[in-house]
Each structure stands twice: as structure tokens, then as C-alpha cells.
Structure 1
Amino acid sequence: MRSYIYLHGFASSPSSTKAQFLNHQFQQHGLCLTIPNLNQPDFYSLTLSRQLQQVATILPTDTPVTLIGSSFGGLTAAWLGERHPQIDRLVLLAPAFQFLNHWLPKLGAAQVEQWQKNNALLTYHYGEQRQMPISYQLVTDIAQYDESGLQRSVPTLILHGQQDEVIPIQSSRSYAALRPWVSLVELDSDHSLSNAQAEIWQAICHFCHLDDQRDRKITVS
């Protein structure tokens, strides 16, 4: 048996459009997709380290794992793949590589300084559909992670929109260029990838051999 786990993005939830679409597709193939809520125990204290620890507790130790991650969940998945040998396949949807380099300049120096001073920044949470505070610890924590250290040769599929306004596609291009085990598929889409669901699922099926698995189940039954 193989385990499949999906990690939603920053300020998102297991009920996001991508999460529910993929969950439905996996169900149609007779497969279970585990979707943890990465907002637990609260959004305020969210950090990359906390997400890594949370997901590590649900990783099976006796079966191979395919980890699918979106945006910040994709960055989390990449670091988990580096650390846990049972993860032998990664699918990253618009992964948030160089997260701080893209996000902090958009906030501006004054707002970042205020965030550091108050230890709280109001951020729109798409899952909750309201503004919620998040601690500056998010910044200090992620600054400890040097992405050049992501060197374990886990077969990896990246799907990234060419019009991504949140995490520019160049971040995935640069990541893939230095790692021959990474395949990058560029999509005519933005960060949400909402208009590319069919292409995403087709790519996942091919990369994960899901149609082969369904055919075997039909033959056995």
C-alpha cells in the first residue's frame, strides 16, 4: 500500500478548492488522500517548523508516501521529503520557494517593522474568510531554512503557473535547474491554478501511475 497526503497552502484549509478537487479525484480512483489541517492549534503561531513537526507525526513508517503540497504546503513538502526516507515522491503545486524574498517586499519595510514590533500582522485567511493575526515568528523561523540544502533526490513534479503573481515561476525554474530529479510543468495560470485543474490531475496521474493502479484494481476484482 502507498499513502497519499496533501498539504494545503498558507492561510488556506483542507476545504480549499484544490484540496477538495484532489480529494474527489483520489476517491474516484479508490484511493484515500489524507488532508491535515495545518492551521492547528491556531493560525497565529504557524511556522514552517511547526508544520514539519505536525506532518511528521502522521507519516506512516512502513509504507511509501506520495506527498502533494500547494504553495507554502509545497515548501513544507520539499523539506519533509529531504528528511523522511519513506517519502519517495513529491508533487509541488506553485511551491513557495524563496517565500520571504517574495512576500516581505510586498509588505514594505514600514509594515514589516511594525509586524516585528507588535508581533502580529493581520492577514486575510482564505479558509476562515476573515483577517487573522500571525506572529512574526513565521519570519524568524523560516529564515533558518536554507533551500540550497534541499538535495535528496526524491522524484519531484512541480506544476507552476506562468502568470503566478504570488510566487513567480522563476523560483521553480531555478529550483528545478539545479536538481535533475525535478520535472517542471509550466501552466498558463496564476497562483491559484484554478483554471488548470484538468492539466494538474492528468500530470499527477501520469507521474504517480494512478491509472495503472486503478486498472490493476479492476482486474483483481
Structure 2
Amino acid sequence: MNAPPLSPPGPRWLYLHGFASGPASTKGVWLDAHWAKQGIHLERLNLRVPSMERLGLSAMLDTVRDALGPPQDNARAVLIGSSLGGLVAARSAERDARVGALVLLAPAFHFVEQLQRRMGAEAWAHWERTGFLETDDHAEKRRTRVHHGIVEEAQAMDARLGVWPDVRVPTLIVHGRRDDTCDVRYSREWAQGKRHVRLVEVDDGHELTASLETIAREADAFLTPWRGGEPTRQVFTAG
């Protein structure tokens, strides 16, 4: 008697933290514990690459690609990205067909524009002139500095690919209406008219720490097809 065929493995779930954060971020740890109760392993990637001082978008995208494994494995993945990690998740889905669904938490769309607005003209000019930005490192609880190269790389990527990631897979966005870091209007604009995107607005700020239960509830419902096996990748065309 022939043995029954093996069931395909379920998709990998990857968590992408935000700028100046790390794998042990509050949301990442909380969601890890939440999904562990359902038998789902959430891999919390380290996007402080190649280092905190020399952060690079391409290095972050390469980290996601490497986590997915060799292309011939044809592994599927669900990406959960917070802030800058949300932008990296969207860019990853744009270029890698193995990404089947996204959950974006206050995604940093228009990253350079929002960062420039938040810093102000004087601080922005100082960063360009000196090459380094002094900022808080939320993961290591200290002051650190970040090279201006991440801005130059983001600008080049926007010029080459367009400022809006071209994502065609089911996407859930949870964004706070009181977010003063990543303005919710960019999520509204990106989601408008996309039948594969669900935008949930909450009465919260950028960290979304008061909305963890809402995030879990919405994500559980949205990701139901990915919680029990290996679904066919849904791709939505423009129009």
C-alpha cells in the first residue's frame, strides 16, 4: 500500500519590527505569545542590519528573503510588519511571490517624506550635512546614531519602483488615528479602491500598545485561510 501524500507545511509567519526597535519589541513579543497559543510560530526577524548605525533597506529586504529560504523551496509566508517594518513587508510582497498575505501596523508609507516632516528643516539639514542622526534606540534603551544612507537608499528605491509599494496580495492595515509618526492618511490613500486591502482605524497612537487585542482579533479573522494549512496565493490585479 502506498503511503498517503504528506500535507504541505503551513506558511511561515514572520514579524518585522520598526525603526530603532528590535525583535523583542512589545508588539512582536505580545503577538508571538498570542499565536503560540494557537500552535503558530512567529519568527521575529532582526532588521537592525547590517548594523543600527548603518541601517539599510536593501539589507532588510535581504533578511526577509533569507528567512524565506531558497526560492526553489517555494515556501509561503505571512508577513506582519510594524512601521518601517511594514514598509519592508510591503516591498517584500512586491518582489517575492512567496509572500501570501500582509498585516501592516502603522506602516511607514512615504517614509522619507514623513521622516523629514517630523524632524523639521534644521534637523534634516544637519543630518544631511553631518551624515548621522542622533536618535533613541528603543531596543537597547540608549541613544544611538543612524547614517544618512538609509534616506538616500529609500529615495533611490522610490524613484525606481514608485513611492507606493505595488502589493497584490490580501493585506490588513491597523493604524491609529492619533499617530503623529506615520500619518494615517497615507494608509487611507494607499488602501483606497483596493478590494484586497482592509484598513482598520483605531483610537491610538503610533505604538498601538492600547490596541493589541484589536490587532489580534482582526488579524486572526483576516488570516483564517493561512492558519490551517497552505492556501493558494491570491493575487489581485489592478483595475
TM-score over 0.5 (shorter chain): yes
Q: Indicate yes or no: 2:111 matched with 1:99.
A: yes
Change in Cα spacing, 1:170 to 1:42, as seen in structure 2 (3 Å) is: same
Q: Aligned-residue CA RMSD in angstroms?
A: 1.8
- 8 Å CA contact 1:94–1:158 kept in 2: the answer is yes
- 8 Å CA contact 1:205–1:211 kept in 2: the answer is no
Q: How many pairs were matched up?
A: 214
Give the TM-score normalised by structure 1: 0.91
User: What residue number does 1:144 align with?
Assistant: 156
Which residue, out of 121, 138, 141, partners 1:126?
Answer: 138
What residue identity is the alignment partner of 1:166? T
User: What residue number does 1:44 align with?
Assistant: 53
Change in Cα spacing, 1:133 to 1:211, as seen in structure 2 (3 Å) is: closer
User: What residue number does 2:199 align with?
Assistant: 184
User: What residue number does 2:181 align with?
Assistant: 166
User: What residue number does 1:80 align with?
Assistant: 92
| Structure 2: runs of 5+ lacking an equivalent | 1-9, 230-239
**Structure 2 CA distance for aligned equivalents of residues 48 and 40 of structure 1:** 9
User: What residue number does 1:8 align with?
Assistant: 17
Which residue, out of 57, 65, 68, partners 1:59?
Answer: 68
- 8 Å CA contact 2:49–2:56 kept in 1: the answer is no
What residue identity is the alignment partner of 2:173? I
**Structure 1 CA distance for aligned equivalents of residues 226 and 152 of structure 2:** 43
- 8 Å CA contact 1:29–1:210 kept in 2: the answer is no
Q: Secondary structure at the match of 1:127?
A: coil
Which residue, out of 7, 19, 27, partners 2:28?
Answer: 19
**Structure 1 CA distance for aligned equivalents of residues 170 and 17 of structure 2:** 20
**Structure 1 CA distance for aligned equivalents of residues 34 and 77 of structure 2:** 18
Change in Cα spacing, 1:155 to 1:191, as seen in structure 2 (3 Å) is: same
Structure 1 segments of 4+ aligned residues over 4 angstroms from their partners: none
User: What residue number does 1:70 align with?
Assistant: 82
What residue identity is the alignment partner of 2:207? S
User: What residue number does 2:232 align with?
Assistant: none
**Structure 2 CA distance for aligned equivalents of residues 170 and 23 of structure 1:** 28
